Structure 1
Amino acid sequence: MISASRRWLRRNRTPIAIGFGLVGAGYVATQYVLGKISDARARMSSDRIARENLRRRFEQNQEDCTFTVLALLPTATDNIMGELETERITFELQQQKAAKLARNGEGHPSELGSSPPSVTDDDGRSMASLHSENGMHVSKLMGLPTPSEAGEGSQDGGHQVQKSKKTKLQLWNDLKISSITRAFTLIYTLALLTLLTRIQLNLLGRRSYLSSVVSLATGGMEQSTISLENHDDDNPDQAYGNDFETNRKYLTFSWWLLHRGWREVMLKVEAAVKEVFGTLSIRDDVSMQKFSELTLEVRKKVEGATEAERKEGKWLQYLLPPREQEDFVLTESGMTAEAPPSSSVSISSSSATPLRRLLDETSDLIESPPFSHVLTLLLDAGYSTLVDQKIAQQVYKIPLTSDVPDLNAPRITEIVDVKPVKLPIVLALLTRQAHSIGNGVPNEYLQAMEQVRDLEAFAAVVYSSNWENEISPMTEESAVLVPKETVVSDITGLIIPAEASEAGQESIIDVGTASTFESAWGKAVDTTEKGKIA
């Protein structure tokens, strides 16, 4: 029996060996495949968690931008309101009207001692109403000279009467320019502050995210996910976590727009308003179509008449100070103690400092064509809210339309049955809306601007592009291995993820790996347009 078994095994040893080999190879192959599947599942789960964390951090960043704009806007509003004192001009006109009524013996002493109805009254008794309750003409109600009064004399002498009338006309012209300039300047300031805040907080948000990635890869392997909270200040040894003071100084540079830049914007807007609205008389009837066209002309003079001119627009001077003024901004904002120029160290003396890199990248973003494109869309939303909604509905009683016209086309088509109104009625609404633009709660103008999809795309591109600026200081030995799809991720559904070269392959973040700002912006815009078409 034993010898027979031996003879059988000897005769069939080759088939048996092949069989065992096949079984062993099958077992090894099965274990290899199962291992690869398990690794792929773990990697997919890790990538999904990383993308979700990145998306949540990005969304939280955008909410922080909104609250930051609402916190900073009152500072610029107070400065603009203090410079363009529309209410003071209105009060002077009211005083002149009261004095005229007193000279003519009209009205009771108690009425003369109190202020007449204000231009900004909401109850329909404003000075800008077409007729008073007793049918008085608007020019007489406002204290303006009517054509019949132009040749009448006065007991005090014709020269004094003419001087008084000229003063009233000058005040009304000042009121016209002031009310229009103030409302338009606030829209420009709000749009610029919104974009500047998005750039600043998304650049810092990108640094915070990379800090979490570096911490996870270098010393926090026991942590399975990237933290949503910023613990940069808890560990000064992190590659990006010891820049709290740099971040504070960087955010302080919004001081320039709030205290200096708005004035330059105001002067530019005021010059355009004087040129466009200067020939418009306070007694003229203004149609909705005409006011829309005049507003468009002001915008073309401020922003540029063509797309090429708008792309070449220089907004950097309004948002950031020149290099020689950067230390001045830090001093004025209280970030650094005042010191003699010889003993102070300029932040522009070195291009390698984190603050210098942040400011340079911010300047590049502001001077990029996408910035001008998004700014135009934000201004479209702001002016649409003011002209197409507030003025159209409350002054001309036009139903609300959802279309946002292009800058090159008239903002509102002429409506046959809409009657023109006196210009002071429009000025009264502009005076009220200036307070809504700067201090409205909720701020409808900010909400309209934040509904622009390209603003979110712009913020996503800022957040997800140009990673090499933060990674490049690291040495190759300490470089962080991060999956490509984690780096260039689909943050908001507007950016196309980078193509993975091989399943499971990881790459060192290096110059050229991440998309440039322009190419990423192009992808974001293309995806946005596809979403609109769909």
Structure 2
Amino acid sequence: MFSSTWNFMKRHKRKLFFAGALVGGVYFLGKYAQKKIREIQEREAAEYIAQARRQFHFESNQRTCNMTVLSMLPTLREAIIHHLNSESLTSLLKTKPTNKLEIWEDLKIISFTRSVVALYSTCMLVTLLRIQLNIIGGYLYLDNSISRNGVAPLAPPDVQQQYLSSIQHLLGDGLSELVTVVKRAVQDTLGGLSLKQSLSLLELEQLLGLIRAQVEGDGVEKGASSSHRKPLAWYMMPDEENTLAAQACGLTENDVMTIKLLNETRDMLDSPDFQTVLNTCLNRGFSRFLDNMAEFFRPPPADSNPGSMPDSLSQVSLPLAKIIPIVNGQIHSICSEIPSHFVQSSYFSASSQDLLMIEQVKDFAANVYETFSTPQDIQH
């Protein structure tokens, strides 16, 4: 039996050799495939975990953005009221002064100016902080998730503080200049209107459009000052030359890192995507403002029915003297830090929280975070 088996193997040794090699190859190939599949699964699991951690960090960062915006609104509101103090005029009117008409004219300009400034500055605050905190958030993610091999962190605490303090430009010099520009536009648009002139909501919307056109540079040039109109981004960040001049007496390593962050922020502010996002916020803000105003243009209940409400609303007019106090009080809704409707959503009102919910703002924030939380960016 062994002899026959041996003879069989001798006769078919080449076939047996190839069969053995094939079986061995299949075995080792199977082992290799299992190893590769396991490596792919482990890599996919690691990528999934990293992506989940990154998403969690991003969402946490957005909540920080929202809370930061809301916490700064009272400061912004007080700064605007400091520049445009209508309360002193309303108090003066209660004393029945002889120059009552003159005071009313001043109140007209100041009331519209401070509501329009509140709309612009709140939109700027929301969008600027989205950029700054997502740049910082992206760098912090890299600092915490990637081995730095002894290299200094991208966003140490001192740099974060120095960088984020640049928001004071919007609350200081930027706001002062914005007040000047808006006040000039309001004076040009409303200065000639009589206090007795009646305006419909549509006419009020058209007047606001003229003011926006002059402030944003989309309208007909009026006077020599129009040729020197600054872009909206100027009110949000100091000029690069001013930043460098302030640091001219010797730059520390933290100063260099801060200037880098400021320049990256300016690049974002100059991008077409940001211009689109800011314009979307402004459109939403002015729309919410008009929603608030619409509540005061509704006809008396006895004169209206559900079927005629929209037409009646467009027909209602109010004297400018009655519109002024309504406009004057809108700053408390626009710059409200408590849940209201300009910065989170509800249909009839104007609070800055609605701006935080705009999809374009969310998408833009995600793009900024994505840009600054990817490892290759740290090599630039």
TM norm structure 2: 0.85
> What does residue 305 of structure 2 align with?
none
1:252 aligns with 2:165: yes
Cα distance in 1 for partners of 2:375, 2:44 equals 25
Displacement of 1:295 after TM fit?
0.7
Cα distance in 2 for partners of 1:367, 1:93 equals 45
Residues 276-308 of structure 1 deviation map (CA, whole Å, 9 limit, x = unaligned): 1111111111111111110111111111327xx
> What does residue 119 of structure 2 align with?
187
> What does residue 448 of structure 1 align with?
354
Residues 358-404 of structure 1 deviation map (CA, whole Å, 9 limit, x = unaligned): 111111111222222111110111111111x1101233359xxxxxx
Contact 1:315 1:367 in 2 (8 A): no
Displacement of 1:175 after TM fit?
0.6
1:69 aligns with 2:1: no
- Among 250, 260, 263, the alignment partner of 1:345 is 250
Displacement of 1:241 after TM fit?
5.8
RMSD: 2.8
Cα distance in 1 for partners of 2:314, 2:333 equals 29
Cα distance in 2 for partners of 1:239, 1:351 equals 10
Cα distance in 2 for partners of 1:52, 1:443 equals 32
> What does residue 379 of structure 2 align with?
472
Secondary structure in structure 2 of the residue aligned to 1:286: strand
Displacement of 1:39 after TM fit?
1.8
Cα distance in 2 for partners of 1:300, 1:191 equals 17
Cα distance in 2 for partners of 1:16, 1:346 equals 78
> What does residue 198 of structure 1 align with?
130
Q: Call closer, same or farther: CA 1:74–1:352 in 2, change over 3 Å.
A: closer
- Among 339, 363, 372, the alignment partner of 2:266 is 363
Cα distance in 1 for partners of 2:49, 2:278 equals 34
What amino acid is the match of 1:315? L
Q: In proportion to residue count, which structure has more helix?
A: 2
Q: Call closer, same or farther: CA 1:242–1:66 in 2, change over 3 Å.
A: closer
> What does residue 423 of structure 1 align with?
320
> What does residue 290 of structure 1 align with?
203
Displacement of 1:208 after TM fit?
1.0
Displacement of 1:70 after TM fit?
1.6
Secondary structure in structure 1 of the residue aligned to 2:298: coil
> What does residue 272 of structure 1 align with?
185
Cα distance in 2 for partners of 1:168, 1:278 equals 16
Q: Please show how residues 31-430 of structure 1 align to structure 2 within 5 Å.
A: 31-96=31-96, 164=98, 167-215=99-147, 237=150, 239-240=152-153, 243-305=156-218, 314-323=231-240, 325-326=242-243, 344-346=249-251, 353-387=256-290, 389-396=291-298, 418-430=315-327
Q: Call closer, same or farther: CA 1:456–1:242 in 2, change over 3 Å.
A: closer
Contact 1:256 1:318 in 2 (8 A): yes
Residues 418-446 of structure 1 deviation map (CA, whole Å, 9 limit, x = unaligned): 32112232222212211122234124211
What amino acid is the match of 1:61? N
Contact 2:297 2:313 in 1 (8 A): no
Secondary structure in structure 1 of the residue aligned to 2:76: helix
What amino acid is the match of 2:58? F
Residues 445-464 of structure 1 deviation map (CA, whole Å, 9 limit, x = unaligned): 11221222111121112111
Q: How many residues align?
A: 354
Contact 2:177 2:235 in 1 (8 A): yes
Residues 89-112 of structure 1 deviation map (CA, whole Å, 9 limit, x = unaligned): 111111116xxxxxxxxxxxxxxx
Percent identity of paired positions between Structure 1 and Structure 2 = 28
Q: Call closer, same or farther: CA 1:416–1:201 in 2, change over 3 Å.
A: closer
Secondary structure in structure 2 of the residue aligned to 1:85: coil
What amino acid is the match of 1:317? W
Residues 17-41 of structure 1 deviation map (CA, whole Å, 9 limit, x = unaligned): 1221111111112112222222222
In our comparison, the structure showing a higher alpha carbon Rg is 1
Q: Call closer, same or farther: CA 1:79–1:417 in 2, change over 3 Å.
A: closer
Q: Call closer, same or farther: CA 1:383–1:13 in 2, change over 3 Å.
A: same
Displacement of 1:192 after TM fit?
0.7
5+ residue gaps, structure 1: 98-163, 220-236, 331-340, 399-412, 474-534
Cα distance in 1 for partners of 2:276, 2:136 equals 23
Q: Call closer, same or farther: CA 1:397–1:366 in 2, change over 3 Å.
A: farther
Displacement of 1:468 after TM fit?
7.0
Residues 156-211 of structure 1 deviation map (CA, whole Å, 9 limit, x = unaligned): xxxxxxxx3xx211111101111110111011111111111111111111101112
